[in-house]
Amino acid sequence: MKAFSQIFLLGIRGRFDQCAIVTLVFLKPTSKTIEKNEKKRLRKILTLSLLLVSMTLFGTFMYHQVQSYLDQKNYLGPGERITVGNLKYHIYCTGLGTPTIVMEAGLGENSLSWYGIQGELSKRTRTCTYDRAGLGWSDGIDKKYSLDEISNDLNILLNNASVPGPYVLVGHSRGGIYVRNYYKKFSNDVTGIVLVDSTHEQGVERSYEYLRESYNKQEWQMRFASVLSHLGIIRILKLADAKYRGDVLPENILISKTAVQNLTKSAIAVTNEISVMRGGIQTPLSPPSRLNDLPLIVISSGKRIPPDYRVDEIKENLTQQEKVKIIEYSLQKELANLSSHSKHIFAENSGHFIMYDEPELIIDSVESMIHEVRLLKK
C-alpha cells in the first residue's frame, strides 16, 4: 500500500519520471519470485513430457497388441500343432522316405530358417522342422528349458506326430548342442548328425576373456528385451524383422517369419535361451559328449574363421578379435573330433547363417549322410 500511495502522490505532483521509476521498482520480481516461477515452469515441462511419453508408450503397446492379434490370425504355421504335456508344438514334415531328417534351428530362430533346405531335402526323404517352446508357432512359456527338457519334448513330439526314426539330426548354431544332447539321451533313434556352424558347450566360457564387453552388453539387452517387446518397441524399431536381420528367403516367407518373431513370447523364449547359454560365465560347463563312431559332418563358417586363423596357437601380438577366431577354430575342430567317423567342411563364402549363404553345401552334406546311412542299413 505504501508503494501505491507514493506512486499516486508523485502522479498528482506531475513528477511522472519519478513515478515511472517507482513503478518499475515495485513491479520488478524478486529472486524468490523468479525461482518460484522457474520451478513451476519446470514442473509443467516435466509433467507434459511424462504425459507425452506415457501416451506414446500406450500407443505403441496398443499397436503391438492389435498387430500381434492380426499376425497370429493371418500368418498361420505351415505344419500342425501337436500336444506335448501342457503345450502345443508346431511341427512341419514333408517328403517320404527313410531316414527322417529332423532340423533344429539356432538360438531365437524358428522352423522357417530351414525353408529352402527343407524344400530340397524333402525330394529325397522325409524331412521335418519344428519350433521350440515360445518360438515360431509353438506355445509360449516363460521358463528356462534345460537341454534334457528340450530333448525330452522333441522326443515326445516326434512320437505324438507319428514321425518314425531312424533320424539324421541337423542342428544350426545352438541347435547343434540340442541335437547332440538328443543323441546322448536317445542314441538308438539317431543314425547321423550334421552340425551347421554349431555352438560349442564351452564356447562362452573360453571366449569370455576376449568378449567381456559384448557379453556385458548382452546382459543389459536381456534385462530389457521382454519389457521392450511388451511395449511394442522391438516391433517399432524392426529389431526382429527378418529382412532387417538379413534372412535370405522369399518375400512371403520373410513376412511370416517376421510376424512370429515380433510376438512377445518369442522375446521371452530368446531371453531364456540366452540366460541358459550364459551359464558358462558363472559355472564352467562340461565339454561336449563323445559321439563314438556316429556318422558326423561338421560345417563351419569360412568367413568367421578365415584360413589364416585355422591354427592351434594363439600368439600374443594378435588382436582380441583375431584371438577369438582362433578359439572358434579350436572349438569347431573339437566338435569334428567327437566322432571317429566324421568329416569337417568349411563353408568359405558363408557367415554364421550358412543356410542362406551356401544352402547347396548343407543340402549336399545331408544328402551324402542319407546315402551313407542307407548303405550302412543294408
- Model's pTM, two decimal places? 0.85
Homologous superfamily of the 80-377 domain (CATH)? Alpha/Beta hydrolase fold, catalytic domain (3.40.50.1820)
End-to-end CA distance of the chain: 115
Domain ranges of the chain: 2-56, 80-377
pLDDT tens sequence across 10-56 = 444 444 445 444 444 454 556 667 677 777 888 888 888 888 888 88
- In whole angstroms, give the CA distance from residue 129 to residue 96: 14
Name the phi and psi angles at 170, rounded to 5.
Answer: -120, 120
pLDDT tens sequence across 69-114 = 999 999 999 999 999 999 999 999 999 999 999 999 999 999 999 9
pLDDT tens sequence across 129-155 = 999 999 999 999 888 999 999 999 999
Copy the grid coordinates of residue 205: 566360457
Query: Is residue 178 within 8 Å of residue 147, measured between CB atoms?
Result: yes
